[in-house]
Structure 1
Amino acid sequence: MSDSFTGEDWYGEELVDRVFTEATFSDVDLTEATTRGVVFDRCTFHNCRFNASTHVSTAFIAADFRRCSFFDATLEGCKLDGSVFSECVLRPLKVAGGSWRSVTLRGANLAGLDLSGLDLRDADLSMADLTGAALRDARLDGAAVREAVLVRADLRGASLGGVDLREARLEETRLDLPGAVHLAEVYGAVVEP
């Protein structure tokens, strides 16, 4: 039987090396909480507050986040592979590395976030607002960017294999030479030395 936590106050709690599997968290206050080496495997978070919380080397694997607030939270070296975010507050948010493979952030407001070096392979960023976001050296191979706003975003050094930038809104988007070549090839150009 899976654990269920409803309306609990975990304000400022410190969780270390815990494992939660298929647990449900509803209206749980994790404001200023700290997790280190914790694994949340296929857990559901609804209406939870992660405001000003810090998560270090914590894994949220295939988690379902709905109407959660991560205002001023820190995610350092965290694994969010396969997780889905719906109607969540994700700004401001500090991200330092980690793996967000196949994460779903459809329509998310990620404007101005520094996601440099993040592994976002196969992520769904459709309709996400990445205005002014830093994606330097991020791994974006296979990511969906349909109707994503990449205005003034920094994609220098990002790997873009299989990414169709024609589906995104690009204005003043910063690309390095390999990124510019990729964009030209997406539009049908033949790039020769």
Structure 2
Amino acid sequence: MGTDEMESVVGEDFTDARLGGQHWQRRAFEDCDFTEADLRGLVTVGCTFTRCDFTRADIGESRHTTTAFRSCVFYRARWPGPRWRTAACSARRSSSAGCAR
């Protein structure tokens, strides 16, 4: 994989995974399930999440730089204190309900 290419992750099941404190760069997640995943302290740079499910995931204290969430679900997600850097971060067509902040 060249330095300009993104690592693609499609259809993976990260349900209940403990991924907090990791640093992800230039990764593209599509149709992945992060239901009830522990993502506290996760750092993303230049990542995209398309049609991913973050239902009841803990996204607290995470940091996102030039990262996009497209058509994702954040139902009852816990995300107190995530940090979004740069105007390139977005949550297009994503939905959230009952989230704890």
- The TM tier, using the shorter chain, reads 0.7 to 0.9
**Does 1:26 pair with 2:30?**
yes
| Structure 2 CA distance for aligned equivalents of residues 16 and 89 of structure 1 | 22
Aligned to 1:10: 14
| Structure 1 CA distance for aligned equivalents of residues 75 and 46 of structure 2 | 23
Match of 1:85 among 64, 81, 91: 91
Q: Structure 2 regions of 5+ residues with no counterpart? A: none
Deviation at 1:85, TM superposition (A): 1.2
Deviation at 1:27, TM superposition (A): 0.3
**Does 1:54 pair with 2:85?**
no
Runs of 4 or more above 4 Å deviation: none
Q: Structure 1 regions of 5+ residues with no counterpart? A: 96-193
- State the superposition RMSD in angstroms: 1.2
Counterpart residue type for residue 25 of structure 2: T
Aligned to 1:174: none
Any idea what the Cα deviations from partners look like across 1:57-103, whole Å, max 9, x if unmatched? 111222111110000001122112231111111222222xxxxxxxx
**Does 1:76 pair with 2:71?**
no
| Structure 2 CA distance for aligned equivalents of residues 80 and 94 of structure 1 | 17
Indicate the structure (1 or 2) with the bigger Cα radius of gyration. 1
Q: Flag the structure with higher helix content.
A: 1
Paired residues, number: 95
| Structure 2 CA distance for aligned equivalents of residues 65 and 55 of structure 1 | 13
Identity of aligned residues (%): 27
Aligned to 1:41: 45
